[in-house]
Chain A
């Protein structure tokens, strides 16, 4: 039986004239700023028409519910070999969709070389290069192993990894520890200093953190992020508050560790001085939440966005293990003194998982300082977040933005909405130098290539 058709409130897409005639009759009309999908591609429009149906809508409700219900808790730090699924001594995981050595970009290659030196699989950069080129190393995407890594994201067997458990669904996700700023592995540096630091992290930082976390009974990452986004963080480019809150939670347990005073002081100093310390934890938390929403038949929820410095790739809940890739774009932003757009590497890193889960660029309204990176104003930050509501299935329960009247951040990117509106997810990102080992040269904004989403849409039709 049909519900009563009424025109009490009308949404109008198309000719202005009729909207005006309704307004003249005192009806509340909301006009839509309508553009045809894919610049007017009728095939795409026909595909979209087929994807608006009960089966898909129901699957999306399920997927969004799982995403929002996730409760990520930081439970441990362990070596990658111990906990990362299928990890072996000759495996090197990297950020972004799968990619062969020949196509890897400068920073990623540098990081691979650094990892091979660190694992003592090679004794010089030249022999590391030869080893990799010879096919002697198993490369795989972090994402395939329930892991994520910022920038190059290179993860190898001996590295300590954070363990985050999604208490609601029981699944876990992993990420390496953040090395800090400057010349670090994730930007492709592989000097002796870098290797030494990695060893210190393996021998001192990792185990100590692990013990402190276990002693604390775990750290509720969701609650921590909820506070941080109300303190000026968006948890991708700005992690200052979250890192401080994390340290606050762990400090008593770090202080209680049975260690020489100097070692303890060094731990606290390193953890405390790294403003992006929280990033890797936040990434693993978002990965754990999104993995629980992946694999739902008929769902058009985007469950991963990731880059490897060459390609940008996305995954969609119903489309299983498939990646949909296109050449990664150049971020637009501000550069540190002495650097410019010519020096930039194409977009790189798994950190777009933050946006996929409703943080980062999607929470920019809470971190207005970020837009200074692109010469924008706080009003631009608000506008950027608001625009993301156009492409998401819902809003976060936990992460609320005071600047938007405590509305939840836009969460749950719907593939259909991205292609239908043409609005692309807004990602806040650091910018790496294209040559390995130089490091971060700026920060800014970047969007995925629309081709990824159009290709994923076509996969639904097949």
Chain B
């Protein structure tokens, strides 16, 4: 028989609450007798009469709370006291205190949301740092979608986050996939062994969807924001992500997709990737220096996806071969994109002397939603291209996934038809080439979306690179190096 006591100095609890606690303890297995009382003289006497008075309890005063338990075994007694501690613990809020209005800050939300692990911040740029810092103080990782955050703020945030062992993904981070959950603009892709770190949202979307379409899967895709590899920031989030992907048992292959920023930082980052011991594929658009030996460098996003899937093992994936285009038209290529990296990659492939517009850039998003949410500005430009005699090929992207428009192809198709009709009436052939970034699992469904634009006369290619190469071939540009 075990008799133990818990004494809480200067703790007050209501007598009804104490009676409830006593009753609950008595009902526990192995408990013979239990009592929770304020240790007034009278109550100490009652404990004595019940055989529950220990020396600790006897020494307690009227302002102290005593829980005394007699049980069949030490284990049962300890379990009962643990239960008592839990019932006496300060409550966080709980179901009974249903919030009637939403929390006013990330800090207070974190105090009341049990199990919150991450803060998603998309407030206007000038205010984002204060919110991100509060999130770090609350022990949360940060997905920082906001743009217009000063560089100095980014540096301070990431240094602090690194010291705390937390991630700051951003600023201006559009895409993340963590443990299969998509944050921001993200696609539904198969889980698997490829871990990605990237500075660009649409870049990550292109690689992850292609990985899925080539039969592979994604463990995590971590966005770092566009300036992470700048000299001032020093690649802090990229390094953190690489270190973690290196440790993560799910991740067997690592892909780094970024703009190089500072060469020194790019080098440091690739060295860190190499030291993970896992196969690393790096797509640093515009990078100049040679990567470490163990890192495979590729020039395009789709090649990164292909090599990553190969590195996972299994059947060799490839994209279907396409016959050479039948006719060549003259004229220029005009690229009208909703995704920045896709625009950049395509422009690099097609070459100079053509017109490429990224509708997601600042110029077009002042006072307007992002074109992936509301593509009307881009679509209008597509329709207008039909009236431009110098244009031979229109190149477009269609981005699916969570956060994107519910039917981007559906809104684009009429604009394409209009453009082609206008051109036809003027006696010109207008070629429209497109690539849909997405998977069959996305809400919009890849096959549906591709079918819609094919019906409008678009030549669809399964990767951004293939679409751009086709455009270049059609306007008769010589094959580039």
Chain A residues in 8 Å Cβ range of B166? 2-3, 5
A33 touching B96 by the CB < 8 A rule? no
- Shortest CB distance B467–A (Å): 27
A428 to B121, alpha carbons, bound, how many Å? Answer: 35
- Shortest CB distance A20–B (Å): 9
**Contact mask for chain B residues 344-365; partner A; CB cutoff 8 A; 1 contact, 0 none:** 0000000000000000000000
A162 to B14, alpha carbons, bound, how many Å? Answer: 28
Chain A residues in 8 Å Cβ range of B184? 18
Chain A residues in 8 Å Cβ range of B162? 2
Q: Counting CB contacts under 8 A, is B94 at the interface?
A: yes
Closest to B163 in A: A54
Of B109, B124, B136, B247, the contact of A11 (CB 8 Å cutoff): B109
B145 touching A389 by the CB < 8 A rule? no
**Contact mask for chain B residues 91-122; partner A; CB cutoff 8 A; 1 contact, 0 none:** 10110110111111111111111111111111
B165 touching A1 by the CB < 8 A rule? yes
Q: Counting CB contacts under 8 A, is B131 at the interface?
A: yes
Closest to A401 in B: B97
B11 touching A397 by the CB < 8 A rule? yes
Chain A residues in 8 Å Cβ range of B330? none
A383 touching B120 by the CB < 8 A rule? no
A390 touching B118 by the CB < 8 A rule? no
| Stretch in B174-182, B267-275, B280-288, B378-386 with 4+ CB within 8 Å of A | B174-182
Chain A residues in 8 Å Cβ range of B183? 7, 10, 18, 22
- Shortest CB distance B86–A (Å): 13
B11 touching A17 by the CB < 8 A rule? no
Assess A14 versus B146: contact at CB under 8 Å? Given A6-B118, A405-B94.
Answer: yes
Give chain B's interface residue range (CB within 8 Å of chain A). Answer: 35 or more
Chain A residues in 8 Å Cβ range of B176? 7
Q: Counting CB contacts under 8 A, is A407 at the interface?
A: yes
Q: Counting CB contacts under 8 A, is B461 at the interface?
A: no
Chain A residues in 8 Å Cβ range of B97? 386, 404-405, 407
Q: Counting CB contacts under 8 A, is A13 at the interface?
A: yes
A421 to B105, alpha carbons, bound, how many Å? Answer: 6
Q: Counting CB contacts under 8 A, is B337 at the interface?
A: no
A1 to B240, alpha carbons, bound, how many Å? Answer: 8
Residues 26-71 of A contacting B (Cβ, < 8 Å): 27-28, 30-37, 40, 42, 45-46, 48-49, 52-54, 57, 71
A30 touching B243 by the CB < 8 A rule? no
B10 touching A222 by the CB < 8 A rule? yes
Chain A residues in 8 Å Cβ range of B135? 11
Of A8, A397, A417, the contact of B90 (CB 8 Å cutoff): A397
Chain B residues in 8 Å Cβ range of A71? 10
Assess A386 versus B100: contact at CB under 8 Å? Given A57-B137, A407-B93.
Answer: yes
Residues 351-374 of A contacting B (Cβ, < 8 Å): none
B240 touching A2 by the CB < 8 A rule? yes
Q: Counting CB contacts under 8 A, is A398 at the interface?
A: yes
A226 to B11, alpha carbons, bound, how many Å? Answer: 9
A37 touching B130 by the CB < 8 A rule? yes
Q: Counting CB contacts under 8 A, is A126 at the interface?
A: no
B182 touching A34 by the CB < 8 A rule? no
A10 touching B10 by the CB < 8 A rule? no
Shortest 3 CB-CB contacts between residues of A and residues of B: A14-B122, A52-B133, A226-B12
Other contacts beyond A2-B165, A389-B112, A390-B108: 5, CB < 8 A = A14-B121, A21-B403, A45-B127, A52-B134, A407-B97
Q: Which residues of B contact A (CB under 8 A)?
A: 10-14, 17, 62-63, 90-91, 93-94, 96-97, 99-124, 126-127, 129-131, 133-137, 140-141, 143, 145-146, 153, 156, 160, 162-167, 169, 176, 178-179, 181-184, 220, 222, 240, 243-244, 247-248, 373, 402-403, 443
- What are 14 A-B contacts with C-beta separation under 8 Å? A6-B178, A14-B120, A18-B145, A22-B120, A28-B113, A30-B103, A32-B102, A37-B127, A45-B129, A45-B130, A48-B133, A220-B62, A383-B100, A390-B103
